[in-house]
Amino acid sequence: LACMVARRNMISVMPSGEGFKPEVNQIWDVIKRAMDDVFTVIREYSGAGLGEMEFRLQDYEVLFYIFPDTENALVAIVPALANKGLLEVEMENARREILKSMNISEKEKLLATV
């Protein structure tokens, strides 16, 4: 239903609410508050190797694929009864691509300061 890069109190990269399916808009406030609570856990344990989290709220599951040593995650909101197998593979592949981009950006920053 929705996919975004997010951190506590901040949705980094996300389509406008108009891009969400109507049913997500109906429960978005509740999901966002719950996500902020989960990001407290992510902040505490990301450095210890926390890689994935998920929770179910009403008829939806929220999947978090955490970027190591950060407070950021790739987040998907899906129907609770969805077959998550393919989605989990796609989320992991997307996380790896984003991490590659992040690493390239960090290297470019280091080279610019030399």
Distance CA 95, CA 89 (A): 10
Residue 75 maps to which CATH number? 3.30.450.30
For residue 4, which phi and psi values (nearest 5 degrees)?
-160, 160
- What is the span of the domain harbouring residue 59? 2-113
114 has pLDDT over 60: no
pLDDT at 108: 65
12 has pLDDT over 60: no
Range with the lowest mean pLDDT among 10-14, 49-53, 77-81? 10-14
pLDDT at 96: 94
Taking the C-alpha atoms of 7, 13, 17 and 22 in order, what is their torsion angle to the nearest 10 degrees? -80
Give the pLDDT band (50/70/90) at residue 29.
confident
Count of the separate structural domains present in the chain: 1
Q: Can you give the pTM of this predicted structure?
A: 0.78
| pLDDT tens readout for residues 67-104 | 988 888 999 988 998 888 999 999 999 999 999 988 86
pLDDT at 1: 72
6 has pLDDT over 70: yes
